[in-house]
Amino acid sequence: MNLRELVEAWRKILLLATKPSRDDYMTSLKLSLLGLALVGGISFVIRILFYTFLFPPPAG
């Protein structure tokens, strides 16, 4: 694929692309934030379990 074909392919893609609607954007944002919160929550629970069972605080 030479440079001219590459530019033409990108041009076609950009001509077909449309701006997402507000509903589409908000749905994507909500799903992204939900995924981020889920991964963060799971990592927090793993960290708490790790420090609770493998490195308990010294008694006294």
Q: Quick: pLDDT tens for 42-60.
A: 999 999 999 888 887 777 6
Q: What is the pTM of this model?
A: 0.63
Q: Quick: pLDDT tens for 9-35.
A: 999 999 999 999 999 999 999 999 999
How far lies 42's CA from each of 17, 46, 52, in Å?
A: 36, 6, 15
The owner of tokens 């694929």 is 1
Q: In degrees rounded to 5, what are phi and psi of residue 28? A: -65, -40
The owner of tokens 């939900």 is 34
